[in-house]
Amino acid sequence: GAVVSQHPSRVICKSGTSVKIECRSLDFQATTMFWYRQFPKQSLMLMATSNEGSKATYEQGVEKDKFLINHASLTLSTLTVTSAHPEDSSFYICSARAGTETQYFGPGTRLLVL
Amino acid sequence: AQKVTQAQTEISVVEKEDVTLDCVYETRDTTYYLFWYKQPPSGELVFLIRRNSFDEQNEISGRYSWNFQKSTSSFNFTITASQVVDSAVYFCALPSGSARQLTFGSGTQLTVLP
């Protein structure tokens, strides 16, 4: 099946710093990538949808200046959490889609902001 | 609006028992896909199945089977002869919106005891 990687898998940072998370589709070209956030014991919450070469579409309530998304190529999307604070600590997971309806998910990134 | 309901929050079974995870959905689309994903403790979402609403035949893959009932808007998932490695959170999902982003159910935590 299609493989999506995410890096880093785990990051600990100090409050006020920025953290970049990469999402790569390894064996297919992803026309659309999605970023989700998941709190413990909860479902996935869609943060934004990004298409290669265009601006991301953010879900209501998600601050676009806080969560910067760049989809520079058909295999790479990045999420940058700017000026991270403890409340940004969460599990961030990306998915990629190649044009069919099926989304393939990365392994996720656990962010802990101290 | 699209909605996916997984009424079973947690299920616990003993190894080798069969278990069925329920999924009920609401959609205004006349044709649509439905998905099941597995999220083991490591966190990544593993794609299990995609089902087109045109196809109401039940599907079997090894110990996994899916029962799609369009008349009751249900897409239930059965694991036969459960194993400890089946312990995970299982999500049912339905694409929605112009970008076909996934609407997830709240998930069912399955624990298989040895």
pLDDT (tens digit per residue) in A5-16: 999 999 999 999
CA dist., res. B43 & res. B21, Å (int): 19
* A114 CB-near residues (< 8 Å, 6+ apart): A12, A13, A14, A15, A86
Residue B97 has a pLDDT of: 80
**Degrees (nearest 5) of the Cα angle B34, B36, B38?**
165
Cα A114–chain centre separation? 20
Interface probe, candidates A37, A52, A59, A102, chain B, greatest B C-beta count within 10 A:
A102
Least confident of B14-28, B68-82, B96-110: B96-110
- Cβ of A101 and B95 within 8 Å? yes
Compute the average pLDDT of residues B58-81: 93
CB-CB neighbors (< 8 A) of A23 in chain B = none
Instruction: Please write the tens of the pLDDT for every residue from A58-112.
Output: 999 999 999 999 988 899 999 999 999 999 999 999 999 987 778 999 999 999 9
Residue A98 distance to chain B (closest CA, Å): 12
State whether A102 and B50 contact (CB < 8 Å): yes
Average pLDDT, chain B: 93
Split at pLDDT 50, 70, 90, the class of A54 is confident
Contact (Cβ atoms closer than 8 angstroms) between residue B97 and residue B32: no
| pLDDT value for B60 | 87
Q: What is the pLDDT of residue A9?
A: 96
What percentage of chain B exceeds 70 in pLDDT? 100
**Pairwise pLDDT comparison (B60 vs A38), residue with the higher score:** A38
Q: For B40-54, what is each residue's pLDDT tens digit?
A: 999 999 999 999 988
pLDDT of residue A1: 67
* CA proximity to B89, closest of B25, B41, B35: B41
Provide the 10 A C-beta neighbour count for residue A35.
26
B69's CB contacts (< 8 A; 6+ apart) are B56, B75, B76
Name the residue among A58, A104, A20, A28 with its Cα closest to residue B93: A104
Residues of B in contact with A42 (CB under 8 A): 106-107
Report whether pLDDT(B69) > 70. yes
